[in-house]
A and B are shown apart, each in its own frame.
Chain A
């Protein structure tokens, strides 16, 4: 019996490691291709030990504008996540605390909006952006991403506020605090863990977004995902540069998987991560 249990534990360990290997392999291979000289990428069979070089990274940063793309991605993702957090949690709070017409239908409405695929709105958004001269501008893409993240935040925070006791806010009201200061100074600080989790999810969504960005951004505001696509469309296709781009866009996600695992797993169950 004890021996049997040992065998099961060992078998389970081997299965675990095999899964890790299969999951990690394509990503590790891409990182490898970004760290070796160009000629080595095209070698068949590939050499297992190659002297690493940062050439491809130097190249994408100096010749392919990736410094700007990286900064754009970071700025657009942080700004849109921040706006969505403030606007979304305010609305969620309003729905859970105030009485007004149609308030009971609103959460479900937001949930439906969250499910809406990008293609449902991309054509008119493109026409609107063209008319309003928002193509390739920061406000355009930032507000669009914020609007995309708001439904998820409203939906999640609404559930959260309903379970939050009202005593503290009521005490603030008694002290003469208005609803807006009470919300920002008293309620929001109490919900920082939930806001952090949703902020990370909103950031990830904007950071990874490709379909809208490829249509609505050009030279100035272009983020990393369409930047990588742009590398691939060039005549002298060079896979070491493309791999470097792919690795760069993955870096924050690797960090998030290591340090913010729990948030993602909670979010997954609620369908908060878009595929």
Chain B
């Protein structure tokens, strides 16, 4: 059977056309819009202003604040989930039925709709009738306005991230641990290695591939945080939880500043592209 060009076209066209129309063209369009002054509320036609929007971005204290908030959120969220997740995996690495059950339950936070988990946590954090304050009260401790003060709002959101993604890191680490051949440990034990040596010389190096790719995936996901601050704090109080994704979204769809919002989108895209390139390189290295 000779494969002709029309066959290739028939197979490739649906997917290529879909991503061209809904992803590649819009991405180029975002790039073009980012070079224009274009606000839907003003009614004025779009005007080319070169890099004007980008110059404005980096002197805009609100945008810089959103970068800072996202950096803090990402660093603490990723660090805490990685350390806790790996620790739990090491402690729970066994074949018991309970661990299997935990694995099934662990999937829920990372898979349920971000709207649902925002609702769940709104009910936990609520100042007047929240579950956490009920527990504090029962223990005789003062109740807190978790999402309402500058000091506690961001840490409270990071805590949700830890709740949501520690199980993710744990599951992936458990899968990585399962892949280490027990013969390695036996051989080491015969050579007289103790448990600490086995851990540092066998467990950690064998897990390196899994850990590095998990870390980069976590950074990418955390960087994109949007729904949680939107629903729980709407970026407040005093913009202390205004993540970059939320900030740019509001620039485009609350202020209707399409040109300026697009410039923000391009900055987000470039940062994610950088991390994605790192992810692809590292996961290929891990495979070899």
Residues of A within 8 A of B (CB): 9, 12-13, 15-17, 19-20, 22-27, 29-30, 33, 41-46, 86-88, 90-91, 93-95, 97-100, 108, 110-113, 115-128, 143-144, 146-148, 150-151, 154, 173-174, 178-180, 183, 204, 207-208, 210-211, 215, 224-225, 228-229, 232, 239, 242-243, 245-247, 249-250, 253-254, 256-258, 261, 264-265, 268-269, 271, 273-275
- A116 x B23 contact (CB < 8 A): yes
Given A264-B107, A264-B111, does the pair A123, B217 have CB atoms closer than 8 Å? no
Chain B residues positioned under 8 Å from A90 (CB to CB): 10-12, 14-15
Residue of B nearest to A270 (CB): B283
Interface CB pairs A-B, < 8 A, 6? A42-B128, A110-B19, A123-B262, A151-B19, A224-B113, A225-B114
Nearest-neighbour CB distance to chain A for B186, whole angstroms, equals 18
Q: Across the interface, do A100 and B8 meet the contact criterion of CB distance under 8 Å? A: yes
**A99–B12 Cα gap in the complex (Å)?**
12
- Establish whether residues B111 and A273, one from each chain, have CB atoms under 8 Å apart when the complex forms: yes
Shortest CB–CB separation between residue A79 and chain B, in angstroms?
A: 13
Q: Is A265 within 8 A of B103, CB to CB?
A: yes
Contacts of A94 in B (CB 8 A): 8, 11-12
Decide: B252 and A123 in contact? CB cutoff 8 A.
Answer: yes
8 Å CB contacts to A: which residues of B214-246? 217, 220-222, 224, 226-227, 231, 245
Judged by a CB distance under 8 angstroms, whether B108 is at the interface is: yes
B11 engages A91 (CB within 8 Å): yes
**Contact string, B135-169, partner A, CB cutoff 8 A, digits 1/0?**
00110000000000000000000000001110110
Contact of B15 among A17, A87, A204 (CB under 8 A): A87
Chain B neighbourhood of A174, CB < 8 A:
1
Within 8 Å CB of B96, what residues of A? 9, 12-13, 16
Nearest first, the 7 A-B pairs at minimum CB distance are A275-B221, A94-B11, A91-B15, A124-B29, A147-B22, A246-B119, A173-B1
Contacts of A256 in B (CB 8 A): 111
Residues of A contacting B18 in the complex (Cβ-Cβ under 8 angstroms): 87, 143, 146-147, 150
Q: How far is the CA of A124 from the CA of B23 in the complex (A)?
A: 10
Determine the distance from Cα of A119 to Cα of B226 in the docked complex, in whole angstroms: 10
- Not counting A15-B88, A246-B116, a sample of 4 additional A-B residue pairs whose C-beta atoms are within 8 angstroms of each other reads A16-B101, A43-B129, A204-B111, A228-B115
User: Which of B19, B24, B276 neighbours the largest number of chain A CB atoms within 10 Å of its CB?
Assistant: B19
How distant is the Cα of A268 from the Cα of B26 in the complex, in angstroms?
A: 28
| CB neighbours of B112 from chain A (8 A) | 27, 208, 249-250, 253-254
**Is B19 within 8 A of A86, CB to CB?**
no
Q: Report how far A91 CA is from B12 CA in the complex, Å.
A: 5
* Shortest beta-carbon distance from A4 to chain B in Å: 13
Q: Are A128 and B26 in contact (CB under 8 A)?
A: yes
Task: Let me know if B111 and A253 touch, CB within 8 A.
Answer: yes
Instruction: Report whether A91 and B116 are in contact in the complex, using a CB–CB cutoff of 8 Å.
Output: no
Least distance between A266 CB and chain B CB atoms (Å): 9
Instruction: Point out the residues of chain A lying under 8 angstroms from B279, CB to CB.
Output: 115, 271
Instruction: Evaluate contact between B268 and A154: CB separation under 8 angstroms.
Output: no
Whether B252 lies near A122 (C-beta < 8 A) is yes
Rounded to whole Å, the gap between the CB of A239 and the closest CB of chain B is 7
